[in-house]
């Protein structure tokens, strides 16, 4: 894999291949077979680095697979994570891939919005916790940077939870705070649907209509409350306007937990160049996605194509802005050479072959995420005396026929829109001032 690009990493130096010695080409062949290939040397170096600095991956959908296949029944014999074979992720593969930290996605689909999204999210959080309980020798559920470091030291996979889609909080700051208390440490502001307070990426494809052109006033409160709590803001799946709005509102660095570079593959799930420049100025992080459609904008890709995205993010935003967000078990097509979570060392070997320094590699593996997470924790400490936001979203901004209106009937403190007639009057005010 490291000899792509016309064999720019030959098995033996050209001077050796050209040297005149007894036996001619036979001697050269014997020498080539006796020496380890350059690619193997890079792989061994990658594994050595990862033994002390394992990868922290930003997004893995194994919990969704556990729901789909087993209805979250982990003690079924066929659900045993030591032998599960029809997923990208199991315990032996995690060990082989030197995965030391994983944000497990507690994803629920957009169709749960205004229905049972909160219940479904809680069940997915529960299954992650039960993974840690059932396999304590492998997983350690943690909630902070100290916990990650302790898991590294004990040889366990630091297991954190990422809420994939703001619809999971049902437009409630109280639910947001409760999910944080239960262990959620990032939230992707949208999935593939708008929420009542933020626009998703399909707005940029014209497959969805913009509602807020970024964030609503309540959406800004959500970001501010995440800053106060110490929850990482994740911008995967949001519209470009939402990306820019958040990067200007958040006082803590943010992440793209599983997004790639638009400059390499112009897919709207990827991060455009102007946003990458904002990522650099805010010390934020892009954790590159391995899904073929986001890597090559086609149904086929290889390990080298993913490395191109890592190179591009590094070039545009700096080495400190690069991370890994494989999206394993959440996508249908992964690159040749990155078939499952066991393959991370091969990708690291490719980066080393591309002259990434060990410091840059260690940053992409874990250091950059730990830096962002530490900064988020520092912002939390700086805001510890700041009271929580209490103003609820306006009732008329919510959808769903089964809602009750308790608390809204007296109009106390609701962040309401002006009545339609008043809104029209305000819009016409400049014209009326001219006419009268």
CATH 3.20.20.140 domain locations along the chain: 53-382
The superfamily (CATH) of domain 53-382 is Metal-dependent hydrolases (3.20.20.140)
| Sequential pLDDT tens for the chain (436 residues) | 433 333 322 222 333 333 333 344 443 333 344 345 678 999 999 999 999 999 999 999 999 999 999 999 999 999 999 999 999 999 999 999 999 999 999 999 999 999 999 999 999 999 999 999 999 999 999 999 999 999 999 999 999 999 999 999 999 999 999 999 999 999 999 999 999 999 999 999 999 999 999 999 999 999 999 999 999 999 999 999 999 999 999 999 999 999 999 999 999 999 999 999 999 999 999 999 999 999 999 999 999 999 999 999 999 999 999 999 999 999 999 999 999 999 999 999 999 999 999 999 999 999 999 999 999 999 999 999 999 999 999 999 999 888 999 999 765 555 444 444 444 444 444 444 444 4
Q: How far apart are CA 119 and CA 61, in angstroms?
A: 18
Strand ranges inside 237-396, DSSP E: 255-256, 285-288, 322-324
Residue 401: predicted pLDDT: 86
- The single residue of 61, 204, 225, 360 carrying the catalytic annotation is 61
DSSP class of 189: S
- pLDDT, position 329: 98
Assess whether 390 carries a catalytic annotation: no
Catalytic annotation present for 389: no
Annotated catalytic residue within 88, 237, 267, 309: 237
Q: Is 191 a catalytic residue?
A: yes
Strands (E), 244-302: 255-256, 285-288
From the list 57, 88, 164, 234, the catalytic residue is: 164
Going by the DSSP 8-state scheme, the letter that residue 289 receives in this structure is -
Specify whether 237 is catalytic.
yes
Catalytic-labelled residue, pool 57, 88, 167, 191: 191
| C-alpha closest to that of 350 among 291, 293, 288, 299 | 288
User: Does the annotation count 283 as an active-site position?
Assistant: no
Residue 369: CB atoms within 10 A of its CB come to 28
Q: Which two tokens stand for residue 333?
A: 């097509």
Contact 311, 274 (CB under 8 A): no
> What are the two backbone dihedrals, phi and then psi, of residue 190, each rounded to the nearest 5 degrees?
-140, 165
Catalytic residue among 167, 212, 258, 309: 258
- Selecting among 57, 59, 225, 360, the annotated active-site residue is 59
Report the distance separating Cα 382 and Cα 194, nearest Å. Answer: 31
Taking residue 141's Cβ as centre, other Cβ atoms within 10 Å add up to 21
Q: What is the pTM of this model?
A: 0.87
């Amino acid at each position: 894999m490291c000899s792509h690009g016309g064999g720019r990493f030959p098995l033996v130096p050209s001077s050796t291949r050209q040297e005149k010695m007894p036996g001619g080409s036979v001697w050269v062949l014997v020498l080539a077979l006796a020496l380890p290939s350059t690619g193997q040397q890079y792989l061994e170096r990658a594994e050595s680095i990862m033994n002390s600095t394992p990868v922290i991956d930003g997004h893995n959908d194994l919990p969704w697979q556990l729901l789909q296949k087993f209805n979250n029944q982990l003690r079924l014999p066929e659900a045993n994570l030591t032998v599960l074979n029809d997923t990208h992720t199991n315990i032996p593969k995690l060990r082989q891939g030197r995965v030391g930290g994983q944000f497990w996605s507690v994803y629920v689909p957009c169709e749960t919005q205004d229905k049972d999204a909160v219940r479904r999210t809680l069940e997915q959080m529960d299954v992650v916790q039960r993974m840690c309980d059932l396999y304590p020798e492998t997983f350690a559920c943690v909630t902070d940077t100290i916990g990650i470091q302790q898991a590294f030291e004990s040889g366990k996979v630091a297991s954190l939870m990422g809420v994939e889609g703001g619809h999971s909080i049902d437009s409630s700051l109280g639910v947001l705070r409760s999910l944080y208390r239960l262990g959620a440490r990032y939230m992707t502001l949208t999935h593939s649907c708008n929420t009542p307070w933020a626009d998703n990426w399909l707005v940029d494809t014209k497959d969805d209509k913009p509602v807020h052109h970024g964030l609503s006033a309540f959406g800004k409160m959500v970001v501010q409350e995440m800053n106060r709590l110490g929850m990482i803001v994740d911008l995967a799946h949001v519209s470009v306007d939402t990306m820019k709005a958040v990067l200007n509102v958040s006082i803590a660095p943010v992440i793209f937990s599983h997004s790639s570079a638009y400059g390499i593959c112009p897919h709207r799930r990827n991060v455009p160049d102007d946003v990458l420049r904002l990522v650099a100025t805010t010390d934020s992080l892009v954790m590159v996605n391995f899904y073929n459609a986001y890597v090559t904008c086609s149904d086929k890709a290889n390990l080298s194509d993913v490395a191109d995205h890592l190179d591009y993010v590094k070039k545009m935003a700096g080495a400190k802005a690069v991370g890994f967000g494989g999206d394993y078990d959440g996508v249908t097509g992964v690159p040749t050479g990155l078939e499952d979570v066991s393959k991370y060392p091969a990708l690291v070997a490719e980066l080393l072959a591309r002259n990434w320094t060990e410091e840059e590699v260690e940053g992409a593996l874990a250091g950059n995420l730990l830096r962002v997470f530490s900064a988020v924790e520092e912002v939390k400490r700086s805001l510890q005396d700041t009271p929580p936001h209490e103003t609820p979203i306006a009732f008329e901004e919510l959808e769903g026929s089964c809602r009750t209106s308790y608390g809204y009937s007296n109009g106390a403190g609701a962040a309401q829109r002006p009545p339609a007639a008043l809104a029209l009057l305000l819009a016409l005010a400049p014209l009326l001032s001219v006419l009268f």
